[in-house]
Structure 1
Amino acid sequence: MYLQLRLKYLLVLLLFLAQPVVYGSVAENPGNKKVIEDDSIRKIVNITAVSKPEGLKLKWTINYDVYESAKAHDYTIAIRYIQKDDLKKDAPRWTVIKAVPLERTDYRIEQLEKNEDYSYSIGLNTGKEIMWSKDYPARTELPWGIFKFIVLIGSLGLFIYGMKVMSEGLQQVLGSRLRNQLGSIASNQLKGVLAGFSISSIIQSSTVTVVMAASFVNAGILTLIQSAGVIMGANIGTTMKAWFINLLAFEIDLSNYALFILAFVAPLLFFGKKRWKPWVNSIFGFVFLFMGLGFMVECMPEDIAEFPFIQTLLAYGEIPVLGVLLFVLIGAFITVLVQSSSATMVLTMVLVNCGLLPFDVAVAIILGANLGTVVAVEMATSTGNVHAKRSARIHSLFNGIGFIWALLLLPFIIQGIQWFMLNIGWGDPINAPVEHANSGLVLFHTLFNLINTLLLIGFIPQLVKWSEMTVKSKGKSDEVFHLEFIGTGILSTADLSILEAKKEIAKFGTLTQRMSKMTRSLLYEKNTNQIEKILTRIEKYEDITDKIEIEVVKYLNKIAEGDLTEHTAMRIRGMNSMVNDLERIGDIFYQMSKTIERKTAEKLWFTPEQRNNIATMFDAVDEALIIMCENLTAHHEKVSLDSAIAAERKIDETRNKLRKDYLESLSNQDPNFKAGMIYNDLFSSLEKVGDHIINVSEAIVGKV
């Protein structure tokens, strides 16, 4: 029995070895061809189909060992495809292509039905039989039209959103550190350029860097001359984004791994610590950015005939001089429309990558995007303060001068870039495959800003002078109508916006100091006309304090709409408390002025002792106000409450002594009773001012 089993297994083995050498098991296909479906054929891997309006572009790879064996036996690649509806028929007829060279890794099937479902497979043709892979589904696309155009706009929107989320996430992570360090590293023009370059490269936004520089000018940390260097460096730093995108989107195509990255990062939104959230947002923005880029590339037509608008523009672009100006204006228009030169840059790179734009036309569009940035920044700061407008004007002069010389020398610049790239082995951006053209575009963008900075860095004082000449300051009249420091027209992230709110609150504190001096002067003024002027001025200042409180609170609430770190949320709560207390101080001084006005109208007079006591109380309050204003301008981490508490204690002790003396005078039947009541109201009101003053200092250090 055992011997019979051994002979049976030996016979099966011999029969198996007698079969032809194939890569799998045998099945019958509709054309009576032997189909091999096994692990071996799966060594033809990464089989994909890129959909086209009237065709499919198939792609695949073959493992090296299978390739060498197949090449030795003169095998070829076979392709078959069929419309899915035909698969339902009793005898479906596949279209088979048998003799695709083994070296090929792609094949384009033409003349298919538009917007239809197909099945296809790839196989190895041995000459006697075909070893097929499994069937894959694919669908041809609609022809390029309004639908694809809308998809393109949506893809661009996803890219811009990703860029915004990534930039804001990086600002939340690094913004406060960069803000604290900028003042020290931008102490001269060259250091300012380096600071602007590094910050713009890190947070991926030149606009935010320019706004940060304007905020530091407002705060007195930087001069306008130093901020000009930061602005120049920011223009160079923003070109790093283009290098970054060119490498990871067009060279490596990171969009293929976007969902893979999200799979690991998304759970952190639900299970991660709060301090991780800015990092997670940065990664999400990074992924959305490349997903948007991938979608843009996919929905672009391969044939310019499918994009008649661009075809028409290119025809006009052949007109000397006027053609260049046309594409410069197009680049500027797109930048103003989407409020982002980076978006214009990327859209241009996508068009170049798809072979729809030649290199020289793309360079003109990028030059126009630099001009469009000028318009966008000027528009954004049109409602801002004088510092923001002057910073924007320096940016405009810098880019405007650069645009003029670059436009005049554009043919020579293009030739120079071609010569440089050929000599360093980067390829020809004009005549070679399109991948070299994008590298040339990024190189042009960097060289333009770098050379422009080298040319103009020595003329920064003149640029600042021109900006001051063209943007006049309204002086003190500004404070009546709008805030001086808040209102740049561009709201950046919370950490970068708090500086402007802090400066406005510090200015608010100085207004209360003035109101204290004006209220005090009413005690000694005897001229009726002068008293009326002081009363009118105090009333005007009280109205200003109301407006400042409303505007600062609105601004802080707008900041709070975004994602906040715990530290930033605490500071915003403190600032809201500060402006409330400062507004109450203004109200109290206004009420005191009306009390003194009533005293004057009723011809009531204080005794010399009462007048001196009120002056002593004012001295204590003014001392506390000075300490409060010093704390408002200092860095919150360096504020000590010791002096503020001591000043508040002095106010309380003075009030207690005056109240005790006043109550004793009442028991002695003081004949000047009405004046005494006003006297009591005044020193009691000053004690309330002291309470609000210490509240402001406590809010600075987070005791809210």
Structure 2
Amino acid sequence: MSITDIQMLFKFIGGLGMFLYGMDAMADGLQKSAGHKMQQLLGALTSNRLMGVLLGTGITAIIQSSSATTVMVVGFVNAGIMNLQQAVGIIMGANIGTTVTSWIVSMSEWGEMLKPEFFAPALVGVGAVFSLFSKNEKKKQIGEILVGFGVLFIGLGFMSASITPYRNAPIFGQAFSVLGRNPILGILAGLVVTGIIQSSSASVGILQTLALNGIVNWQSAIFITLGQNIGTCVTALLSSLGANRTAKRAAVIHLMFNVAGAVIFGIIMFILFQMNPVLASSRISSVEISVFHTVFNVTNTILLFPFAGLLVKASGIFVRGNEKEEASDSESEMKRHLDDRILETPSFAIENVNHEVVNMGYAALENFDVAADALLTSNLSEIKQVEKLEQKIDHYEKLLTDYLIKINNQSLNEEQHILVKNLFYTISDFERISDHCENLSELATEKANRNIIFSQEAESEMKEMLKAVRASLEHAIKARETSDMSEVRSVVQCEENVDSLEEELRERHIERLSTQSCKPENGVVFLDALSNLERISDHAHNIAGYVKEEI
């Protein structure tokens, strides 16, 4: 191998690296720009399978990877966020969405002005200026997209230039002739290459780069493309290894769908090439690969869409096991819901963790109810229940904080950074609320051990305070859950009511102590309880304040 050959090899490797990096950077920029729209897409998901297909197409077009979409679907199914009927539609749509990349790659054949060497440097230059010097978040995101787009095309240019000197080399003609004559070999070649680089978009891009140099024939390109569509399933299958049975079935559905399409089209195209040897051996262009890739995925979806239910049933044959999930307690459920696969798309991961933070809030509300009743009744069993709930909430805090740290390490836009920061604070506030509930249970223990009984007047006042604080906490949780400004305003009103009530009840109780109508030891428990309740309301007010910042 000569120095020139080594130089061309390095050029090809560098070009491939820039292509992959550009595709990733462009996808990051698109995700940041889509931001809240991605959450709305998830909200639009229903049992309507056609909606699932459209959703899968849209998500894959944004994140530029059907593998990433399918891995995310495996995560959603594993977390119980969606069922297999919904998943199958998204998987079908993901195959259509992945064709966008092939059309981007083939742009250089659309006209002279669309050749990478013509406009890619300008895109990188403009994008870099936006990313580095603009203070506007949207412009920074546009800059990221432009840089990614430009680097992608420069990488393609490098790959193409490195292959050009060898376009007439016999090895290429012989290799593609062998792959074309043997459909199985062609499909295996596409499958292996895609399985290794974990991206059908990238492997189709490499094939299109070879086609740009006129060294790929129709017959080999078609079978390699079919193999690439099967190879893209490898990522999801590997991802499903640590998932539950239903998630494994989602990955198998993806494989069955692509294998069925490859078999149908493989047979049709093999017969067509036997009937038309001239077409089989003629050179295929990058645009023609894009056309076939799109026709294959759209037609495959149309053909198999009516049989989606059968795919779901068939997946149960390949993945056997007990329908009953091993873990059913709420802690295990939360672990399952905080699935790392969903981190592939931060918008969805944030939406998911927000849901779990709300669940933590309701657990804190449950703890408050138990602690409040324990304080009034001195019930020892309820005091023990508060301790158990406090331990559970402490563990929730750790799980959610760890997951938020992972999300924070992803590529987020400014709006998402604010939301993640506020979720960190919200978790801390819910944990502090639970701590105050534990304080109330300790006061209940003291009340029981020392046989302290509140006077009728004091008990009535305590019930009034408990009711006001509970309302504040409940509205704060609903504000976090719904992002509804009316709930935020309700918390503000409740907090004002709690503050004035705490001051008023404290004065009344001090007056009772001064007239000796209440024992001093009773007064300490009562006043400490008021302080803890007022602090719970303060934390509820904090939570509502975070929501207000986001609206």
Category of TM-score, reference length = shorter chain: 0.7 to 0.9
Evaluate the alpha carbon distance shift between residue 405 and residue 189 of structure 1 in structure 2; reply closer, same or farther with a 3 A threshold. Answer: closer
Say which of 190, 193, 198 aligns to 1:334: 193
Say which of 446, 451, 471 aligns to 1:623: 471
User: Which deviations, in whole Å up to 9, do the C-alpha atoms of 1:329-382 show, x marking residues without a partner?
Assistant: 443343343232111111222334445554434433333332332221243465
Aligned to 1:584: 432
Evaluate the alpha carbon distance shift between residue 564 and residue 307 of structure 1 in structure 2; reply closer, same or farther with a 3 A threshold. Answer: farther
Aligned to 1:236: 96
Find the aligned partners of 1:472 and 1:450 in 2 and give their Cα distance: 36
Evaluate the alpha carbon distance shift between residue 496 and residue 490 of structure 1 in structure 2; reply closer, same or farther with a 3 A threshold. Answer: closer
Q: Is the 8 A contact 1:155 1:293 kept in 2?
A: yes
Question: What is the CA-CA distance between 1:155 and the residue it aligns to?
Answer: 1.9
Partner SS state of residue 430, structure 1: helix
Evaluate the alpha carbon distance shift between residue 568 and residue 674 of structure 1 in structure 2; reply closer, same or farther with a 3 A threshold. Answer: same
User: Which deviations, in whole Å up to 9, do the C-alpha atoms of 1:155-184 show, x marking residues without a partner?
Assistant: 212111101111121222233235335634
Aligned to 1:121: none
Question: What is the CA-CA distance between 1:457 and the residue it aligns to?
Answer: 2.3
Find the aligned partners of 2:170 and 2:281 in 1 and give their Cα distance: 22
Task: Compute the TM-score of the two structures, normalised by the length of structure 2.
Answer: 0.83
Indicate yes or no: 2:53 matched with 1:193. yes
Aligned to 1:124: none
Q: Is the 8 A contact 1:192 1:233 kept in 2?
A: yes
Aligned to 2:238: 379
Find the aligned partners of 2:460 and 2:17 in 1 and give their Cα distance: 69
Letter in 1 for 2:514: S
Aligned to 1:649: 496
Aligned to 2:296: 448
Aligned to 1:50: none
Q: Is the 8 A contact 2:221 2:284 kept in 1?
A: no
Find the aligned partners of 1:458 and 1:217 in 2 and give their Cα distance: 21
Say which of 134, 139, 149 aligns to 1:286: 149
Letter in 2 for 1:157: G
Find the aligned partners of 1:400 and 1:228 in 2 and give their Cα distance: 11
Question: What is the CA-CA distance between 1:250 and the residue it aligns to?
Answer: 8.2
Say which of 564, 570, 574 aligns to 2:413: 564
Find the aligned partners of 1:187 and 1:480 in 2 and give their Cα distance: 26
Say which of 481, 488, 491 aligns to 2:343: 491
Aligned to 1:413: 269
Find the aligned partners of 2:404 and 2:8 in 1 and give their Cα distance: 45
Q: Is the 8 A contact 1:196 1:233 kept in 2?
A: yes
Aligned to 1:431: 281
User: Which deviations, in whole Å up to 9, do the C-alpha atoms of 1:165-222 show, x marking residues without a partner?
Assistant: 1112122223323533563486732233234334533554445655777899899997
Q: Is the 8 A contact 1:185 1:192 kept in 2?
A: yes
Question: What is the CA-CA distance between 1:610 and the residue it aligns to?
Answer: 3.9
Q: Which has the larger radius of gyration?
A: 1
Indicate yes or no: 2:117 matched with 1:256. yes
Q: Is the 8 A contact 2:476 2:543 kept in 1?
A: yes
Question: What is the CA-CA distance between 1:476 and the residue it aligns to?
Answer: 4.1
Aligned to 2:259: 403
Aligned to 1:130: none
User: Which deviations, in whole Å up to 9, do the C-alpha atoms of 1:256-288 show, x marking residues without a partner?
Assistant: 122244344443344445231111111111111
Question: What is the CA-CA distance between 1:695 and the residue it aligns to?
Answer: 0.9
User: Which deviations, in whole Å up to 9, do the C-alpha atoms of 1:537-582 show, x marking residues without a partner?
Assistant: 22422322431452244135324xx3523x3333333223222211
Letter in 1 for 2:235: A
Relative to its length, the structure with more strand (as a share) is 1
Aligned to 1:180: 40
The 5 A counterparts of 1:205-216 are: 205-206=65-66
Find the aligned partners of 2:60 and 2:121 in 1 and give their Cα distance: 28
Find the aligned partners of 2:163 and 2:434 in 1 and give their Cα distance: 62
User: Which deviations, in whole Å up to 9, do the C-alpha atoms of 1:17-66 show, x marking residues without a partner?
Assistant: xxxxxxxxxxxxxxxxxxxxxxxxxxxxxxxxxxxx9xxxxxxxxxxxxx
Find the aligned partners of 1:577 and 1:527 in 2 and give their Cα distance: 32
The 5 A counterparts of 1:279-318 are: 279-300=142-163, 303=166
Indicate yes or no: 2:353 matched with 1:501. yes
Q: Is the 8 A contact 1:193 1:234 kept in 2?
A: yes
Find the aligned partners of 1:679 and 1:627 in 2 and give their Cα distance: 25
Question: What is the CA-CA distance between 1:702 and the residue it aligns to?
Answer: 0.4
Question: What is the CA-CA distance between 1:460 and the residue it aligns to?
Answer: 3.8
Give the number of the structure with larger relative contact order, counting CA–CA contacts within 8 Å between residues 6 or more apart. 2
Question: What is the CA-CA distance between 1:233 and the residue it aligns to?
Answer: 2.0
Letter in 2 for 1:293: L
Partner SS state of residue 341, structure 2: coil
Question: What is the CA-CA distance between 1:633 and the residue it aligns to?
Answer: 1.7
Evaluate the alpha carbon distance shift between residue 536 and residue 177 of structure 1 in structure 2; reply closer, same or farther with a 3 A threshold. Answer: closer
Aligned to 1:699: 546
The 5 A counterparts of 1:323-362 are: 324-354=183-213, 358-362=217-221
Evaluate the alpha carbon distance shift between residue 443 and residue 399 of structure 1 in structure 2; reply closer, same or farther with a 3 A threshold. Answer: farther
Evaluate the alpha carbon distance shift between residue 286 and residue 339 of structure 1 in structure 2; reply closer, same or farther with a 3 A threshold. Answer: same
The 5 A counterparts of 1:49-60 are: none
Indicate yes or no: 2:395 matched with 1:544. yes
Question: What is the CA-CA distance between 1:392 and the residue it aligns to?
Answer: 7.2
Q: Is the 8 A contact 1:478 1:484 kept in 2?
A: no
Corresponding residue pairs, total: 544
Question: What is the CA-CA distance between 1:670 and the residue it aligns to?
Answer: 5.4
Relative to its length, the structure with more helix (as a share) is 2
Indicate yes or no: 2:7 matched with 1:159. no
Say which of 687, 691, 696 aligns to 2:534: 687
Say which of 126, 129, 135 aligns to 1:267: 129
Aligned to 1:477: 329
Identical-residue share of aligned pairs (%) = 26
Q: Is the 8 A contact 2:126 2:143 kept in 1?
A: no
Partner SS state of residue 659, structure 1: helix
Letter in 2 for 1:432: S
Letter in 1 for 2:227: G
Q: Is the 8 A contact 1:218 1:500 kept in 2?
A: no
Find the aligned partners of 2:45 and 2:401 in 1 and give their Cα distance: 35
Partner SS state of residue 549, structure 2: coil
Letter in 1 for 2:263: L
User: Which deviations, in whole Å up to 9, do the C-alpha atoms of 1:99-130 show, x marking residues without a partner?
Assistant: xxxxxxxxxxxxxxx66xxxxxxxxxxxxxxx
Q: List alignment gaps of at least 5 residues for structure 1.
A: 1-52, 54-113, 116-141
Partner SS state of residue 210, structure 2: helix
Find the aligned partners of 1:606 and 1:453 in 2 and give their Cα distance: 70
Q: List alignment gaps of at least 5 residues for structure 2.
A: none
Aligned to 2:229: 370
